Structure 1
Amino acid sequence: MALELGGRRVSLERTPDGRRLLVRHDVDASVDTVWNVLTDTDCWADWGPSVTAVETADRYITGGTTGRVRVAGAVWLPFEVTTCAPYRWTWTVARLPATGHFAEERAGGSVVGFEIPPLATGYAPVCARACQRIAALSQQREA
């Protein structure tokens, strides 16, 4: 079953990490550009509504990248990227499983999305906003 949330598609689906709520948004940019924005830690505060700063040794994440993110403008939390393969990455924040991130190809562009654990469904509007920001950043990079 899929729903619309502010122009973004939301559905409950099986992922490699179990059932997750998926938030997707179409992007008029290549999947590689979207992936670049998703994995570039210099961009996280630009597209992540809850992230205001990032500290890590890796500008572009890979599996095992660690660091910390500042959320709500004040609280620093440690993170670790647990998986990072082309077009999908997952992480833990403060040692808790957090959102998954992905990009998919589609005709004429791509799709960006987030995988949200079922107990965190209230985070879907934040992810929908992040999708919109990622789309805008990706389109700017290709302009």
Structure 2
Amino acid sequence: MALELGTSSVSIEKTPDGRRLIVRHDVDTSVDTVWDVLTDTDCWSDWGPSVTTVETDTRYIDDGTAGRVRAAGVVWLPFEVTACAPYRWTWNVARLPATGHFAEERASGSVVGFEIPPLATGYAPVCARACQHVAAIARRREA
């Protein structure tokens, strides 16, 4: 069963990391452009409402990328990307499993989505907003 959260849909699904709350949003750009936005640390603060700054040695993440993010402009938290392969990546933040990020190809355009661990389901509205921001950034990159 899927619910609507603004212009994003929300469902509970099985992922490689177990059952998660999934937030999806249709994007009228290519899946590669969405993936580029999701993996580009220079724009995480543009699409992630809770991320204000990112520090890492590399602009584009890969499996094992580590660094730190400043959350809500207040606290620095270490992160490590635990899996990264087209078109899905996951990470631990402060050594805890955090949201998964993915892009899916569609017949017309693509989808951006987030996988939310069961104990963080209240984060769904933030992820829906992040999906909308990713879509807007992807559209600007293809313009």
- TM-score of the two chains, using structure 2 as the length reference: 0.99
Amino acid of the structure 1 residue aligned with 2:46? D
Question: What's the counterpart of residue 42 of structure 1?
Answer: 42
Shift in Å at residue 105 of structure 1? 0.2
Shift in Å at residue 116 of structure 1? 0.1
Question: What's the counterpart of residue 121 of structure 1?
Answer: 121
Amino acid of the structure 2 residue aligned with 1:131? C
Shift in Å at residue 7 of structure 1? 1.2
Question: What does the per-residue CA deviation read over 1:91-124, in whole Å, with 9 as the maximum and x for residues that have no partner?
Answer: 0000000000000000110000000011110000
Tell me how far apart the structure 2 counterparts of residues 21 and 135 of structure 1 sit (CA, whole Å).
20
Structure 1 position 111 matched with structure 2 position 108: no
SS at match of 1:42: helix
Give the percent of matched residue pairs that are identical in Structure 1 and Structure 2. 82
Question: What's the counterpart of residue 19 of structure 1?
Answer: 19
Question: What's the counterpart of residue 95 of structure 1?
Answer: 95
Tell me how far apart the structure 2 counterparts of residues 63 and 19 of structure 1 sit (CA, whole Å).
22
Tell me how far apart the structure 1 counterparts of residues 41 and 7 of structure 2 sit (CA, whole Å).
26
Structure 1 position 74 matched with structure 2 position 113: no
Question: What does the per-residue CA deviation read over 1:71-109, in whole Å, with 9 as the maximum and x for residues that have no partner?
Answer: 010200000000000000000000000000000000110
- TM-score of the two chains, using structure 1 as the length reference: 0.99
Unaligned 5+ segments in structure 2 are none
Amino acid of the structure 2 residue aligned with 1:142? E
Question: What does the per-residue CA deviation read over 1:36-69, in whole Å, with 9 as the maximum and x for residues that have no partner?
Answer: 0000000100000000000000100000000000
Please tell me the root mean square deviation across aligned C-alpha atoms, in Å: 0.4
Unaligned 5+ segments in structure 1 are none
